[in-house]
Amino acid sequence: MRILLSDHYRTARQSLDRARLRTLLTVTGVAIGVASITAILALSGGVNKVIDKQVADLGHSIAIIRPHTDEPTLADLSNPSPSNAYSTSPLVERDVKTVLDMPETDQAAPLMTLSGSVRTKEVTPKRSIIVATTPALESVNHLTLSDGQFIDSVTKQNTVVLGTQLSIDLFGTEQSIGQTLLIRGQEYTVIGVIKRQNKPINYNNIDFDYAAVISLTSGKLFNGGVAQIQQINVKAKDGTDMRAYSQKIDQALQKNHDGQKDSEVVTGSAIAKPTSNLFRWVSSVMAAVASISLIVGGVGIMNIMLVGVSERTREIGLRKAVGASNLTIVAQFLIESLIISAVGGLLGFVGGYLVAFFISLVIPYDPTFTWAIVGWAALLSLGVGVVFGLYPAFRASRKDPIESLRRYH
């Protein structure tokens, strides 16, 4: 058996070597398909790793209170903006106080989004969002400042903290402390700049890179003295049972709202679910597109094998005339197909990780290596070799030896 396989392998090598250009092009086609899928799987693994870490950081202490509504859509998650935020909300300041009065609560930060322009006298950026909140948001949301300070109880009313990109759009630099701008026509002074987030889980439905953060007091003045709160981010004390805590919050808010369940409390992995679903959907679509190139590579294998069958009709006839069985002929051509797919798969796997590495230089997610990805790369490449190599192999095995020898005599 070992001698027979060795003979098949040697014959396959000789056959493929005679058609080097065709073989090289076919191997390249398979390699491109495998590389595309490998890169997607590696980067998807990196994103999921970051999501899991963020959930681990949040899941044991963070609860999100928001209006009871449908799960955010793909459009909401991929393009956070004021239009995607909850336009109407039953949450009010009384609800924030109720949560803060609970012994399990460490901090609670209300989020109130406002429509209106953020601009200077010379520049009006295409994208911005006004967020009114309290000083607790810095700690609850783990916001980091690249310059200046966050809003607090001693800062003046007309002060603002900008997201990094909004600062650049308005003033051409991240260092905009002391600059003045207009929020809905009123002058504000910049006291801080929020460092870029680079976090996949956006449970606020707000892109803080484009945010102008003002105090809740200032926000209420823009809304007739009323705080229409879209969301309350809550940080529980260490050791709190988050399930029991969320149920307690839910019951307290229902009592505040005359028994109506018009809000929901989200904790743990449920916070990350919409984002995880988004990345899973995007990865699936990209993998499906990448599979097309793998199929093209498979078609290339079938093509080169069919050409080989046609060119080697006399060889097939001779082998069958001296006793080679149909199974032997099938094995011969199938091994050739597997060699092409295996070499393409190996090159594609290595190339895929190189592509993922270079992509990771411009996005904040590192590719992950797992044996599952190795298994998928091997399974896909060898599977393509078998699937697209079977038809040419069976076609070769069905050739009549007498007719083959007569035709090429």
**Identity of the residue numbered 255:** K
Candidates 42, 37, 47; CA nearest to 364 is 47
Same domain for 260 and 299, yes or no, is: no
**Identity of the residue numbered 189:** T
CA 407 – CA 340 distance, rounded (Å): 29
Q: What are phi and psi of 150, to 5 degrees?
A: -85, 165
Same domain for 288 and 391, yes or no, is: yes
Mean pLDDT score, 9-20: 65
Same domain for 92 and 162, yes or no, is: yes
Give the pLDDT score at 78. Answer: 47
> Hey, which residues does 65 pair with through a beta bridge?
232, 265
Query: Who's near 23: CB < 8 A, 6+ residues apart?
Result: 16, 17, 304, 340
Q: What is the mean pLDDT of the chain?
A: 83
Reduce the DSSP state of residue 172 to 3 states and report it. Answer: coil
Residue with tokens 């967020």: 131
Give the pLDDT score at 235. Answer: 92
CB-side exposure of 161: number of CA atoms within 13 Å? Answer: 29
Percent of the chain's residues with pLDDT above 90: 34
* pLDDT, tens digit, 9 for 90 and up, residues 200-214: 556 667 889 999 999
Which of 267, 293, 319 terminates a domain? The answer is 267
Vertex 143 angle, CA 138 and 145, to 5° = 100
Provide the phi-psi class of 173: left if phi over 0, else alpha when psi is between -120 and 50, else beta.
beta
- Can you state the angle between helices 93-100 and 242-256, rounded to 10 degrees? 140
- Residue 369, H or E segment: none
Domain count, the chain: 2
Query: Which residue segment(s) compose the domain that 140 sits in?
Result: 61-267
CA 208 – CA 121 distance, rounded (Å): 23
pTM for this model (two decimals): 0.66
Same domain for 233 and 189, yes or no, is: yes
Query: Who's near 380: CB < 8 A, 6+ residues apart?
Result: 33, 34, 37, 294, 345
Same domain for 308 and 209, yes or no, is: no
Q: How many CB atoms lie within 10 A of CB 111?
A: 28
Same domain for 153 and 193, yes or no, is: yes
Residue with tokens 């402390």: 177
CA 315 – CA 401 distance, rounded (Å): 9
CA 264 – CA 250 distance, rounded (Å): 7
Q: Is the dihedral of CA 34, 37, 38, 39 positive or negative?
A: positive
Residue with tokens 């069985």: 325
- Residue 125, H or E segment: none
Same domain for 254 and 381, yes or no, is: no
Same domain for 71 and 178, yes or no, is: yes
Same domain for 184 and 81, yes or no, is: yes
Give the pLDDT score at 200. Answer: 57
Spell 363-382 as b/e; 16+ CB within 10 A means b. Answer: eebbbbeeeebeebbbebbe
Mean pLDDT score, 381-407: 80
Same domain for 227 and 310, yes or no, is: no
CA 285 – CA 273 distance, rounded (Å): 18
Which of 267, 291, 323 terminates a domain? The answer is 267
Mean pLDDT score, 37-57: 79
Same domain for 258 and 306, yes or no, is: no
* pLDDT, tens digit, 9 for 90 and up, residues 350-371: 999 999 999 888 877 788 888 8
Candidates 237, 283, 276; CA nearest to 53 is 276
* pLDDT, tens digit, 9 for 90 and up, residues 142-162: 888 999 999 987 777 789 999
Compute CA distances 331 → 6, 52, 303, whole Å: 12, 46, 18
Same domain for 172 and 301, yes or no, is: no
Vertex 48 angle, CA 110 and 58, to 5° = 30
Which of 225, 240, 267 terminates a domain? The answer is 267
